């Protein structure tokens, strides 16, 4: 299996994350990519290729133009105000305020466009986010002549909605890849999110559409981020009703429990008959992941790959979560190796 990545994966290099009331080193760091690349090389998964330059106007089919402009100028505006730290919002348009107003001041803009303030903006953030999109688009392009491909995106994307960032995500890489495939002639896409955290952004983007079915296996949002989306009663709206499936799972979920939900989704894929199968690949379901609470073991990920492969569909894996511990490489490659068995 080919892997697409960018040498510029460390452009987004924020040093702070608000966690537990303290500013700490972010859990999402460039070391994640190093662990995965090393494992891919050591286990000879396949060629590692650089992303190509792409027409990035396709981003506007997924994201609001004003939001994209905000991301492009946020850091410069922040510095212009004289702030010394990284850009972190402090106020939001909450239920008691007017959520339709977009302030002129950068502090207000950050609150308007941010859904969670663990995600800092720093010098290089927008450039890194664009590189991640290029990875996803290059992989989608190559997939049309391959059985499978792995897009090693960083920063990740599945929490980014049409006009909000957060959860370490700025552009929704997998949604943009799906749009690329549709632009090239695909009629139906199925996106399965196996990250521990619900892909709220991907759901929001496709929630009223029948051509992209979104399904997610994740920690129950009553207990886990993003809390306010990802519940079982969210089925889609308008033409998209019936094309959204959430499988929230409780604390300490074992692989046996998790696998039952995966099989349920696989049955939906068979019924939907998509042209392409896209996987938001997060391995923060691992038992020792620092910010999650499932109990999957490294050997379980081989089986995940085998189950996904059983559909015999052209499959794009897009990297999402799984944080900077050595096993992120092992677990990611276990899925990809399982797929190829």
Q: Among residues 224, 6, 28, 3, which one has the least CA distance to residue 118?
A: 28
**3-state DSSP call for residue 282?**
coil
Torsion angles phi and psi, residue 246, rounded to 5: -110, 135
Strand partners for 50: 5
* Cα first-last separation, the chain: 11
Give the distance from CA 160 to its chain's centroid. 8
* Cβ atoms of 173 and 156 closer than 8 Å: yes
Q: How many helices (H) and strands (E) does the chain have?
A: 9, 10
Residue 225, Cβ density class (10 Å: 0-12 exposed, 13-18 middle, ≥19 buried) = buried
Strand partners for 247: 217
The catalytic residues are 159
Rounded-to-integer distance, Cα 239 and Cα 152, Å: 32
Q: What angle do CA 33, 35, 37 make, to 5 degrees?
A: 65
Rounded-to-integer distance, Cα 8 and Cα 16, Å: 20
**3-state DSSP call for residue 104?**
coil
Rounded-to-integer distance, Cα 226 and Cα 41, Å: 34
* Cβ atoms of 128 and 9 closer than 8 Å: yes
* Cβ atoms of 236 and 242 closer than 8 Å: yes
* Cβ atoms of 26 and 12 closer than 8 Å: no
């Amino acid at each position: 299996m080919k892997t697409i990545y960018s040498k510029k994966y460390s452009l987004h290099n924020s040093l702070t994350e608000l966690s537990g009331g303290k500013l700490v080193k972010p859990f999402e760091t460039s070391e994640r990519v190093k662990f995965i690349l090393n494992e891919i090389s050591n286990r000879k998964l396949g060629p590692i290729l650089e992303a190509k330059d792409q027409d990035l106007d396709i981003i506007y089919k997924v994201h609001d133009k004003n939001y994209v402009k905000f991301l492009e100028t946020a850091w410069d505006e922040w510095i212009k105000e004289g702030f010394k730290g990284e850009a972190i919002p402090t106020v939001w348009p909450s239920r008691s305020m007017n959520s339709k107003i977009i302030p002129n001041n950068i502090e207000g803009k950050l609150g308007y466009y941010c859904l969670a303030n663990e995600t800092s903006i720093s010098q290089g953030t927008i450039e890194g986010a664009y590189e991640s999109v290029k990875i996803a688009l290059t992989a989608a392009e190559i997939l049309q002549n391959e059985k499978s491909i792995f897009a090693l995106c960083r920063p990740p994307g599945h929490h980014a909605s049409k006009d909000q960032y957060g959860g370490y995500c700025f552009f929704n890489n997998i949604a943009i890849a799906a749009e690329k495939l549709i632009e090239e002639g695909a009629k139906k896409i199925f996106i399965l999110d196996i990250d521990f955290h619900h892909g709220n952004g991907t759901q929001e983007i496709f929630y009223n559409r029948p051509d992209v079915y979104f399904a997610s296996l994740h920690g129950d949002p009553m207990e886990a981020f993003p809390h306010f989306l990802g519940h079982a009663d969210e089925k889609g709206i308008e033409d998209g009703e019936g094309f959204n499936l959430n499988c929230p799972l409780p604390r300490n979920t074992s692989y046996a429990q998790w696998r039952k939900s995966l099989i349920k989704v696989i049955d939906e894929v068979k019924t939907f008959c998509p042209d392409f199968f896209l996987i938001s690949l997060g391995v923060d379901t691992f038992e020792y992941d620092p910010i999650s609470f499932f109990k999957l073991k490294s050997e379980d990920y081989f089986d995940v790959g085998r189950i996904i492969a059983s559909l015999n569909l052209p499959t794009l894996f897009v990297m999402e979560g799984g944080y900077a511990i050595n096993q992120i490489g092992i677990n990611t490659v276990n899925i990809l190796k399982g797929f190829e068995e």
